[in-house]
Amino acid sequence: MPGKTVNVAAAVIRSGDRIFAVQRGSGEYKDGWEFPGGKIEPGETPGEALRREILEELDTVVEVHELIDTVEYDYPEFHLSMRCYWCTVAEGHLTLLEHEAARWLRVMELDSVDWLPADRTLIDKIREQMQ
């Protein structure tokens, strides 16, 4: 069992019938696909962390909506606690500053990318809520 818990917030950015996915550009999980977001800093709410991270990573202001789910996932090195929220673009154009690629995926295309394990656990819930 991994010792350290990493608390993150993830944005499931939705536009109509499409979801925004990004491909990691660096680190141990480089090339894996994920929902954008990042670590929740001390004193931050998950929503504040999401707004900050999306601004830093994608130069975009998002509106954070309801919680979809909290994913608890054990990676070999750490335990991930990921709060996943529906989000919409409030301002900006989702410019890749840290990721190597991005795609807008329709519900039937969600299996077309190689999701990181923790993010993959969210796909069925997203499908259900987008029906």
- In tens, the pLDDT along 102-119 reads 999 999 999 999 999 999
For tokens 């819930």, the residue is: 125
Burial class (CB in 10 A: 0-12, 13-18, 19+), 5: exposed
In this structure, what is the dihedral angle of CA atoms 57, 113, 46, 80, given to the nearest 10 degrees? Answer: -110
Q: How confident is the model at residue 2 (pLDDT cuts 50, 70, 90)?
A: low
Tell me the domain boundaries of the chain: 5-123
pTM: 0.94
Pick the CATH number of 5-123 from 3.90.79.10, 3.40.50.300, 3.20.20.80, 3.30.70.20: 3.90.79.10
Degrees, nearest 5: CA angle 119-75-122: 15
CA distance 26 to 64: 26
Which pLDDT score is estimated for 1?
Answer: 52
